[in-house]
Each structure stands twice: as structure tokens, then as C-alpha cells.
Structure 1
Amino acid sequence: MRDPKKTARAAHGKRGPHGSAEVSSDASTDGGYNAGMAVFSYIIGGIIVWSLIGWGLDYLWGTRWIVLAGALLGAVGGFYLSHMHGLTSSRKNADGRHAPSAPSQDGEDNAK
């Protein structure tokens, strides 16, 4: 059951003690895992479905290469779907902006 106070604070855009928006703990802890499983299922599901379609066409037409083309099409299609759903986007900071990928402005990098 949801806590009505937390839901009301989230709906009104209340800020936490450090100025950042409050996020429920269950959504923030396994979001990466859920996104990874969704990408995995899109790609594996695409491979399975399009391989079966290719296998059926191979059986009907007496060929042996369409199943491979179907598997490749399924993998590309699964990755495309996961990208279009925003599951393969770049990392983001806590405030929702993209994390910087360039060297810092002072010329020093933080690589170890």
C-alpha cells in the first residue's frame, strides 16, 4: 500500500533536505536491473521470434539461410525497440541532466 504523504509530496514536487527531488527507494535501487532485463528480453525475444519465422520460411522454401537472417533481424529489432523506449540511454545525474563525458574545464581529468 502506498503512503499517501509520500505520494502527495511527490505530486507537488517537494524537495528533500539537500534540495534534490525525493525519490522512492524501490524505484531508485533496481531501476538499472529492470532496464537491463527489459533490454535482454527485447533482444532475446526478437531473436527467438524472428528465428522461428525464418525457420518456417526455410522449411517452406527449402533454404537454409533465412533462419540466420531472421536471428540477426530479431537482434537488431530488439535493440532498436529498447533504444526507442529509452532503456539504452546514457547515464544521468541525480537532477536528470546528462553526466559530463568530457575532461574538466581546468584541464585535469579524474581518471585513476
Structure 2
Amino acid sequence: MFNHKRSSKATSTAGSKSAGSADAAGDGNDGGYNAGIAVFSYIIGGIIVWSLIGWGLDNLWGTRWIVLLGALLGAAGGFYLSHMHGLTSQRSSSGESNADSGPSKDGDSNAK
């Protein structure tokens, strides 16, 4: 059988540049995709969970509208969670936010 474990000597002699750059390149290429999947999961998960809660309350109380309220509440809650986790904000390719956060990069200031 093939042993997937590396010895500590093999790990220490491996180039840290190649391993580090491979990890960084992998993280940068699919960050938007992972954030999109997370937002989708929060929203769909919220709709499913709160719809099931609404369905249970509908059956308990003999109504038919609480399931719809639960679906809307779940969608709003999922979007809120994804926004609070910073998944819905736009980011530049370097990972910084688009908002101004300091002096301009060209050296001009707005002070008079």
C-alpha cells in the first residue's frame, strides 16, 4: 500500500516557497466562488429551516400562511448573516475594500 504520510525530514527539506505559493494561488483563485456558495447556503438554508418551522406551526395552529412568512424570514435572515460575515461586500483583487481608507495613493490631498 502507498503511504500518504511524509516524514518530518522530507517536510523540512521541501521548498517552502513552492508550497506557500501554491496555497496562496489556490486561495486567491476561488475566493469569489467560495463566498458565493456561502451566501447561497445561508439564504437557501434559512429558507428551508424557517419554512419547516412555519409548516410545523401551520399544522399546529391550522393556518396556511405562516410557511410563507417563514420563507421570507429565512431569506432575509440568510442575507443578513452573509452581510454580517462580510460575504456580500465588493472587494478589489488585492482583497482590500473599495472604500477610501486613508490618503489618496497619488499624493494629492483634499486639504486646503
TM interval, short-chain normalised: 0.5 to 0.7
**Structure 1: gaps spanning 5 or more residues:** 11-22, 101-112
> Higher helix proportion, which one?
2
- State how far apart, in whole Å, the 2-side matches of 1:67 and 1:87 are: 27
Task: Name the amino acid aligned to 1:70.
Answer: G
Which aligned segments of 4 or more residues in structure 1 are displaced greater than 3 angstroms? 1-4
| 2:66 is the alignment partner of 1:66 | yes
SS of structure 1 residue aligned to 2:92 = coil
Please tell me the root mean square deviation across aligned C-alpha atoms, in Å.
Answer: 2.9
State the match for 1:45 in structure 2.
45
* 1:5–1:71 Cα change, 3 Å: same
The equivalent residue for 2:56 is 56
Change (3 A) 1:97 1:75: closer
Deviation for aligned residue 1:92: 2.0
**Structure 2 CA distance for partners of 1:4 and 1:80, relative to 1, 3 Å:** farther
- TM-score w.r.t. the length of structure 1 is 0.67
Residue by residue over 1:40-97, the C-alpha shift from the partner in whole angstroms, topping out at 9 and shown as x without a partner, is 0000000000000000000000000000000000000000000000000123242624
Taking the aligned partners of 1:28 and 1:35, their CA distance within structure 2 comes to 12
Q: Which amino acid aligns with 1:38?
A: A
What is the TM-score with the length of structure 2 in the denominator?
0.67
Structure showing greater radius of gyration is 2
Which amino acid in the other structure matches residue 81 of structure 1?
A: L
Identity %: 69
Structure 2 runs not aligned, ≥5 long: 1-5, 101-112
